[in-house]
Chain A
Amino acid sequence: MLLISTVVLVRKRLLSIRYGLGWITVSLGGIAGAPLLVLLSGQARKLGFTPTGFSLGVFITFLGLLCLQLSISLSGLHNAIQDLAEHCALVEERVRGLETRGEATKDSQTVAHKESG
């Protein structure tokens, strides 16, 4: 289900290829890991976990790690947006200054040209 959804979302450009590849890896890992989980559930029972509880525990831990990774990505993007916004403001002010200076030079050249003409 996850695999199909990922492919569809990537094709519709709702999910970038970078994250799409990540989710495809997760889906394939889930498919490959399911038999392993069944094998491990016997060991888990010895530790006092039910097979369902053990599977859920693994799943929740995985989701937690995934959220952490996405938070790291989001923090990076947040920093980048803040830097870009500040950069934009500084560049806008610089362009405004250059335009003002350019207009002043143009005016003085026009006056000088008229006087010499």
Chain B
Amino acid sequence: MTGSNNAEVSPNPLVIIPALNEARSVSQVVSMARSLGYVVCVVDDGSTDMTAQTARSAGATVLRLPLNLGVGGALRCGFRYAVAKGYSTVVQVDGDGQHNPNDIPAMLKRMVSSDADMVIGSRFITTEHRYPVAHGRRFAMRVLAWRASRSVRAQITDATSGFRVIRAPLLGYFAADYPVEYLGDTVEALIAAGYHGARVVEHPIQMSPRRHGDSSAGVMAGVWYVVRVLLAASLMRGRSARRTSGQTLLGHDEELSASPVT
């Protein structure tokens, strides 16, 4: 798979922001993305605060999940919306303010120049901007990056980055069957992309420290995360496609796509 037949990127990619209780930061991310001219879709993953209202007032389309599905589920919902609305390219950005939407144009350019199906915003591709990570966590990230690199047959330095550009046909595959069962959606998505023969490249980005809240990853949680992702990755090989309503949902969404892209 090498992107679409021509190397064009949709002139108006959809920015998807999965958010769980990010009322304090999501509006700023939405506003920044919108100021660059992008349409923004926030997927509220069962928040108990004012995330949906805040995002809506900042000008985003909001998809409200009635219960918490995890980042993978929220992203799949966003991908399904994008496919339904006829978008061929999406940009996945975190809602906590750590990703800078100003990097999006450069990532889109990188996608065109390298004819890639997915561009990952990497914190570690250059040594210019050091992103502070604890040694244990960095080690875990290296193991996961090694596993992801094997799958996509390319050098990946930041497999856990949630800042990505994805385009069709990979977007369609993800809309139907994105890894949602574990918390390791970022790594598993790369492995799934590798199985689909997708071309994955990285682009250097700077990531800000979290503005609000704490990272939930402790040492033991990190070790368990790595073990679980590696096990899940080995189970993914040869797995049959989903038989359930992924197809049905997409089928229904074709009706939705009758409405023009806004």
**Interface of A with B (CB < 8 Å)?**
76, 79-83, 85-90, 92-94, 97
**B43 close to chain A: CB less than 8 A:** yes
In this complex, the member of A79, A85, A89, A94 whose beta carbon has the largest number of chain B beta carbons within 10 angstroms is: A89
Measured between C-beta atoms, what is the minimum distance from B55 to chain A in Å?
A: 12
In the bound complex, do residue A82 and residue B180 qualify as a contact, i.e. CB atoms below 8 Å apart? yes
Task: Report whether B69 and A90 are in contact in the complex, using a CB–CB cutoff of 8 Å.
Answer: no
Residue B240, interface by CB 8 Å: no
**By the criterion CB–CB under 8 Å, are B65 and A89 in contact?**
yes
Q: How far is the CA of A92 from the CA of B259 in the complex (A)?
A: 15
CB–CB A86/B256 < 8 A: no
| Residue in A85, A92, A94 whose Cβ sees the most chain B Cβ within 10 Å | A85
A76 to B244 CA separation, bound complex (whole angstroms): 9
Top 5 A-B pairs ranked by shortest CB distance?
A86-B77, A89-B63, A83-B245, A89-B65, A85-B65
Q: Which of B84, B244, B259 contacts A90 (CB 8 A)?
A: B84
B residues in contact with A88, CB < 8 Å: 65-66
Q: How many residues of B contact A (CB 8 A)?
A: 26
4 new A-B contacts, CB < 8 A, other than A83-B244, A83-B249, A90-B63, are A80-B245, A88-B65, A88-B66, A93-B63
With known contacts A83-B249, A85-B66, A85-B67, A90–B80 Cβ distance under 8 A: yes
Which residues 11-56 of B have a CB within 8 angstroms of A? 43
B228-259 contact mask (Cβ, 8 Å, vs A): 1 or 0: 00000000000000101110110011001001
Chain B 70-81 near chain A by CB (<8 Å), digits 1 or 0:
000100110011
A90 touching B246, Cβ below 8 Å: no
Q: How many A-B residue pairs have CB under 8 A?
A: 55
Confirm or deny: B61 has a beta carbon within 8 angstroms of a beta carbon on chain A. Answer: yes
B242 touching A79, Cβ below 8 Å: yes
5 residue pairs A–B, Cβ–Cβ below 8 Å: A76-B244, A80-B245, A85-B73, A85-B77, A90-B253
Complex CA distance for A32 and B80, rounded to whole angstroms: 52
Given A85-B67, A85-B69, are A93 and B62 neighbors across the interface (CB < 8 Å)?
A: yes
Given contacts A79-B244, A87-B245, A88-B66, contact A93 B61 (CB under 8 A): yes
Instruction: Specify which chain A residues have a CB less than 8 angstroms from the CB of B242 in the assembled complex.
Output: 79
Contact of A89 among B43, B245, B252, B256 (CB under 8 A): B43
A89 near B64 with CB under 8 A, answer: yes
B180 CB contacts on chain A under 8 angstroms: 82
Q: Are A87 and B249 in contact (CB under 8 A)?
A: yes
Flag if A94 contacts B256 (CB, 8 Å). Answer: yes
Are B65 and A86 within 8 A (Cβ)?
Answer: yes
B63 contacts across to A, CB distance below 8 A:
89-90, 92-93
Q: Is the CB of B244 within 8 A of A86?
A: no
Which B residues lie within 8 Å of A93 (CB)?
A: 61-64, 81
A93 to B253: give the CA distance in the assembly, Å: 12
* B56, chain A: closest CB distance, angstroms: 9
B249 is contacted by which of A86, A94, A97 (Cβ under 8 Å)?
A86
CA–CA, A41 and B69, complex, Å: 49
Shortest distance from the beta carbon of B112 to any chain A beta carbon, whole Å:
29
